[in-house]
Amino acid sequence: MSWENFVRRVVPYTPGEQPKESGIIKLNTNENPYPPAPGVQKILDEFRISDMRLYPDPDAGILIQAIAETYQVKPEQVFVGVGSDDVISMAFLTFFNSAKPILFPDVTYSFYDVWADVYHIPYQRVRLTEDFRINPEDYKIPNGGIIFPNPNAPTGVLESLELIEEILKANPDSVVMIDEAYIDFGGISCLPLLEKYENLLVIQTYSKSRSMAGMRIGFAIGNQKLIKYLNDVKFSVNSYTMNRLTLLCGAEALKDPAYFENCTGKIIETREDTKKKLAELGFVFPDSKSNFIFASHPDYDAGMIFEKLKARKIFVRYWNKPRINQYLRITVGTPEEMKQLFTALQEILIEDES
């Protein structure tokens, strides 16, 4: 016997690489290529070290208020955390306590099974169809909860509100979490369904569409009761998850909807252009409504392309996992970055032929 018999053993989530070197083109973790709203810079400039002396507001009031106004819900319907990873982790701990397995797709965000493991939550991976779609029938089985991203990651596939509603309808006894990390790139949020379903939790993040991955802000919107339970757990783990500067920047970022629309609009435009160029090179991919494209080439090995891009200082994401080991997940960057990606891809495909 040793203390090691009593360790909570987990295989941790592997985040995408954050290379330290300069001069690379980083298309591997779905960050936004544009800076956050300019008002955020002003907050940073005006922040004083003396402001750090006191604890932040444990209720994260100004951020919650700003989110509630933006999404036209009550402040009591909003929960915030250190990135949506923190929010989802708290939500697993709060709501997934059944002996029945929770359900999520077999091809999805690779953090879900890690949280399930760390909290000892039983889970079942539900196979997506051949074209990476969710079949709602598969979610009409006994379960302890449901979560999936919409659009899904890493596929970029967007499902309809009708499909989400069908799953909600069939599961009044489970909390259904929709992870809308990428909803701002042309998807339709399921927030309106909150009026009808008290078991729905909608999760969003500042990391992608609001260009603030480095600041760590995520939030959940749901029925007041759900949010109350989430806060009870949060206040039992760490009351001060959101620091003072983050609260201010997070509230400020929402005050410039025109800037936000412009940024997401540019990314959508570049994404559509990227689809055309990838298709010209012979790549195939499910239609993406996110800020990345999940592409495969029928004639070239994805692992090979990944390595050769990396050698050219272009980072994309590759998983050597069943079903997806012939795909690359390519984040949509600036038009200039995409141009360099295409030049590199053209060279790599020609090289491999000769």
Ligand X SMILES: *Cc1c(COP(=O)(O)O)cnc(C)c1O
For position 181 contacting ligand X by CB under 6 A, the verdict is yes
Q: How many residues bind ligand X (CB under 6 A)?
A: 13
Q: Tell which one of 114, 161, 213, 268 touches ligand X (CB under 6 A).
A: 213
Residue nearest to ligand X (CB): 83
Give me 117's structure tokens. 């493991």
Q: Which x/- pattern over 127-166 shows residues binding ligand X (rule: CB under 6 A)? A: ----------------------x---x-------------
Q: What SS3 state is found at 21?
A: coil
Which of 175, 153, 168, 169 lies closest to 233 in space, CA to CA? Answer: 175
Q: How many CB atoms lie within 10 A of CB 284?
A: 13
Q: Which stretch binds ligand X (CB under 6 A): 5-13, 20-28, 79-87, 227-235?
A: 79-87
What whole-number distance in Å separates Cα of residue 157 and Cα of residue 287?
6
For position 85 contacting ligand X by CB under 6 A, the verdict is yes
Q: Which stretch binds ligand X (CB under 6 A): 17-25, 205-213, 235-243, 331-339?
A: 205-213
Q: What is the smallest separation between the CB atom of 347 and ligand X, expressed in angstroms?
A: 30
For position 109 contacting ligand X by CB under 6 A, the verdict is yes
Judged by CB, which is closer to ligand X: 90, or 167?
90
Amino acid at 59: D
For position 101 contacting ligand X by CB under 6 A, the verdict is no
Buried (b) or exposed (e) across 195-226, using 16+ Cβ within 10 A?
A: eebebbbbbbbbbbbbbbbebbbbbbbbbeeb
Q: Tell which one of 28, 32, 77, 84 touches ligand X (CB under 6 A).
A: 84
Q: What is the smallest separation between the CB atom of 304 and ligand X, expressed in angstroms?
A: 25
DSSP state for residue 19 in the 8-state scheme: -
Give me 91's structure tokens. 């939500």
Which of 132, 143, 136 lies closest to 293 in space, CA to CA? Answer: 132
339 contacts: CB under 8 Å, gap ≥ 6: none
Q: Which x/- pattern over 217-256 shows residues binding ligand X (rule: CB under 6 A)? A: -x--------------------------------------
Q: Tell which one of 31, 179, 184, 252 touches ligand X (CB under 6 A).
A: 179
Q: What is the smallest separation between the CB atom of 113 and ligand X, expressed in angstroms?
A: 13
What whole-number distance in Å separates Cα of residue 115 and Cα of residue 289?
26
Q: What is the smallest separation between the CB atom of 233 and ligand X, expressed in angstroms?
A: 18
What whole-number distance in Å separates Cα of residue 53 and Cα of residue 125?
46
Q: How many helices and strands (H and E) does the chain possess?
A: 10, 11
Which of 100, 80, 98, 99 lies closest to 90 in space, CA to CA? Answer: 80
Interacting residues with ligand X (CB under 6 A) = 30, 83-85, 109, 149, 153, 179, 181, 205, 207, 213, 218
